[in-house]
Amino acid sequence: MVVEVGDGTWQKRLDAGQCPKCRHKLEPHTVIAGVREGTQFLKCRLCKLEIIQRDPKEALLMETKLMPSEEDLCSVPEKMYWSDAVTIIEDVIEDCLDDADISNEAEAKVREAWKRILQG
């Protein structure tokens, strides 16, 4: 569970060395063996709450970004305008229909299909 915004009571208790849940004294521990070897955490002996202490840089790598940052928004290349895209495709269609040996019926179908695509 990650709490993003609160009233600050948990942080005040942590700063005072108290368990945020039960206000008992927190004790620092380091995992000696196993998968989490070397992990440092605070542990409450009363309610068994464990708070893993991470390097702030490491925590940033693990956070989930729900909204793009300003840097991400600015780094995205500008999208093509719809009208420009339509003009390009119309030019391609015209060039292909003019250059190829296409029957009048097939040309009519292509133009009708393009008209339908533009209608949405």
Q: What is the pLDDT of residues 20-69, one digit of tens each?
A: 889 999 888 887 777 767 778 888 988 888 888 766 665 555 556 567 67
DSSP strand pairing (26-30 vs 50-53) = unpaired
Instruction: Tell me the average pLDDT across 4-15.
Output: 81
- Range in 1-5, 68-72, 95-99, 107-111 with the lowest mean pLDDT: 1-5
Note whether 26 and 51 are within 8 A (CB).
Answer: yes
Residue with more model confidence, 45 or 75: 45
pTM of structure: 0.39
Query: Which residue, 24, 63, 27, 55, is CA-closest to 39?
Result: 55
Q: Which pLDDT does position 1 carry in this prediction? A: 56
